[in-house]
Amino acid sequence: MQTGYTKEELSKILPLYRDIQTKLRGRSTLDDRKMVRKAFSLAMFAHSGVKRKGGDPYIVHPLEVALIVLDQMNLDAVSVICAILHDVVEDTEYTLQDIEGMFGEQVARIIDGLTKIEDVSDTVTSTQTENFRKILLTLSTDPRVILIKLADRLHNMRTLDAMPMEKQQKISSETMYLYAPLAHRLGFYNIKGEMEDLCMQYQDPGSYSFIEQKLKDTEQQRQQFIRDFIRPIRQHMDEKNIKGDIIYRVKSIYSIWKKMSKKQIPFEEVYDLFAIRIIVDVNPEFAKSECWTVYSLVTDIYRPNTERLRDWISIPKANGYQALHITVMSNPTEHNPTGRWVEVQIRSRQMDAIAENGIAAHWMYKEGTSETDATQEGIEEWLKQVRFVLQNQQEAPSNELLSNVRLNLFSKEIYVYTPKGEFHTMPAGSTVLDFAYEIQEDFGNHCIGAKVNNKLVPVAHTLNSGDQVEIITSTKQMVHPEWKKIAKTALAQIKIAEALATQNDAKLAEGKRMLQSYFEKAEVEFDRITVRRLKDFLGIDERVDLYAEVYDGRVTEAKVRRCFSRWSYIYRLYHTLGVKVRFFLKRIRYIFSIDAFIKARMKRQPDAMLLDNDMESLHQTVAKCCNPIAGDSVIGIKKSDHEIEVHRTNCPEARQMMARMGKNIVKAKWRKDAANIDFLTGIRITGFDKKGLVSEVLTIVYQDFKMNCRSINFETTDNVFEGRIMLYVQNLDVLHELLERLKSVEGIQSVNRIDSYRS
């Protein structure tokens, strides 16, 4: 089977194969290793005589991919076989049927997925999109396909120096855009870091070389610092009989460069060049508590930055990653007299295996513990999102698909809570509207806003990690086209598109029904000819646009009659004059409106209080800090020999004055005829804006309660409004009745009395 290979070539090939078999020995059966040998023999024969650009026999590449699958992904023998054979069907005369006959249906299916990824058109505009689509399609069926593809891409990047410059730039750009984020999302942080560093070597070789040299120059100093830092932690762990390892890792060159660029700082000011990792050997049942014990131990030695605590043990990342991340300030030592911030990661041995092996841990730990259940749940949820995006956006434009995939599948995550304390993982940048659709489709379709941490916000409000969100809905709310710009997640965008399509169909059907009734009233036949005549008359091209304008009220029965009237020019003349007449009448109504009456009342002083009978001779005024009205429990404070200021008994300013001027306090009460006097008070209204809301509020105030207003102010921001009305009421009971009535208005969320003119 090895015919066609020179001794020199075999000296490169056979050690790789023996290394594969050695690494498999502890994790596979004898039959598995025999199948690996069979795959090796077939690949040797199929690729015989073929060389890579760098001059090595082609078989070296699939063997190196198999070693990545073993060393850095910890996958099984089936994955190794597929890695060795992954280019056989693509590059040789062997077929999938041949592979299935020799190795079984499972191996053939995975290799078929790998072949489909490679089989993309070579046009500039579609390659990247097609790669995305095909890679994610295979990921949603058997994730091992994409894991082998990641290993294949990593080895290609390691040997990229043999390619021409234009190929180097194309492949490194695609790797940075697609494969590195995908490796990160699947939990392969080391592979992601190596890919980014390799890409940087070709995309920015100058910066790469600069940082690489800086790391070499500071290596000895860094090693001494780490030894000094670890020593007391190790001692305390030994004293507490906590078993485990303490290791460290240096940040990737690309990560260092990214931090320098983002913060505009030199290399010397990047404090987190490395991270200390404490891996605890403990029974998985006690892993969480032991990690927190180590956290307490570390923070007893070093001062922590509490704002930098990241608890991914209590709430794992979606890919199952669990660890405690803390940043602490080191203590001065002989070698490092100045303290510096150091990141410390704490995890159990099993958490570490999950972190190192990413999604591969899905197969490593089938027997359930709470940790692995969380890992698998996160993975399955993410794969579910992948399937949803692909199934619902098969016809999506290239740019739209790419942006949705990157936002929903590769972005950072936030954790958002419901009022009951249930948390949901969302992409960073998600809005209230996204969360509404995440909870339930009906919530999304009827969402008018939310209470985020008990504060009213509009649907476009961007959520932050830790927010508690209560979605507010209204049965009258409809989905708006502008929501497509507000929604960030694929789920919300797809559901909005579906709802708009349904609404539009219903809208057009209703518009057609309304138009037919207009024709009937105008005694005109509703047919193709008459509808075309109406479209020409109105300047509308499409029938669906006509139905939409009828539904929206822009095409009325009067316009239909005008179209088919012999006197249409008279109607047009009337319409022209009517605009001017309506403007004139509007001005007249404004001049004689209630506003003019309110302005006249602004000069009134609401001095309607009387005190006890023996105080009748004093002048009483209403305190503007608390605005008391008839029915309030009040107190009088003597401001001078001839003036009493009346406060509500719960007024903060009155309490301060009572503490300072106790001898000036007088008991106050309302005069019996106070119910017949108007008192000035204020109310604050908040909620979600809708057409006609202010008019509805003022109708209740003016007509139903017969009240007059001193001032009215409504402000709206992003569909959330706040209104303030200063009005005259008879007593506290009437005010409470008004507040309850206003609370029942659709769209109003809260109505409260204003305690002060200044509030």
**How far is residue 605 from each of residues 280, 362, 622, 678, 684, measured CA to CA in Å?**
75, 76, 9, 10, 21
DSSP type of residue 175 = I
d(CA 323, CA 367): 21
Amino acid at 300: D
DSSP type of residue 83 = H
Q: Where are the alpha helices (DSSP H) in 522-628?
A: 528-538, 543-551, 557-563, 568-591, 594-601
d(CA 381, CA 431): 20
Question: What ranges make up the beta strands (E) of 205-254?
Answer: 244-250
d(CA 686, CA 681): 17
In sequence order, which residues have a C-beta less than 8 Å from that of residue 176 and are 6 or more positions away? 195, 196, 199, 203
Beta bridge partners of 620: 644
Task: Tell me which residue of 117, 114, 139 sits closest to 127, measured CA to CA.
Answer: 117
d(CA 687, CA 746): 9
Based on the residue annotation, tell me whether 91 is a catalytic residue of this protein: yes
In sequence order, which residues have a C-beta less than 8 Å from that of residue 78 and are 6 or more positions away? 106, 107, 110, 144
Based on the residue annotation, tell me whether 90 is a catalytic residue of this protein: yes
d(CA 448, CA 748): 11
CA 657 to chain centre: 50
Question: Phi, psi (5° rounding) for residue 370?
Answer: -60, -35
**How would you class 246 by CB atoms within 10 Å of its CB: exposed for 0-12, middle for 13-18, buried for 19 or more?**
middle
Q: 680 near 726, Cβ under 8 Å?
A: yes
Q: 438 near 425, Cβ under 8 Å?
A: no
d(CA 647, CA 627): 7
Q: 84 near 63, Cβ under 8 Å?
A: yes
Q: Mapped to the 3 state alphabet, what secondary structure does 609-632 carry?
A: CEECHHHCCCEEEECCCCCCCCCC
DSSP type of residue 179 = I
Q: 669 near 611, Cβ under 8 Å?
A: yes
CB atoms within 10 A of CB 394: 10
The single residue of 32, 56, 91, 400 carrying the catalytic annotation is 91
Read off the tokens for 141. 């069926």
Amino acid at 264: Q
Read off the tokens for 717. 């921001």
In sequence order, which residues have a C-beta less than 8 Å from that of residue 74 and are 6 or more positions away? 353, 356, 357, 360, 364
Q: Is 754 left (phi over 0), alpha (psi -120 to 50) or beta?
A: beta
Q: Nearest 5°: CA angle at 132, between 126 and 135?
A: 130
Read off the tokens for 604. 């009134």
**How far is residue 175 from each of residues 74, 169, 194, 318, 429, measured CA to CA in Å?**
22, 10, 11, 23, 24
Read off the tokens for 372. 């692995």
- In degrees to the nearest 10, what's the CA dihedral of 574, 580, 581, 584? 180
Three-class SS state of 669: strand
Beta bridge partners of 469: 452
The single residue of 9, 90, 204, 718 carrying the catalytic annotation is 90
**How far is residue 490 from each of residues 138, 415, 619, measured CA to CA in Å?**
19, 18, 68
Catalytic residues: 90-91
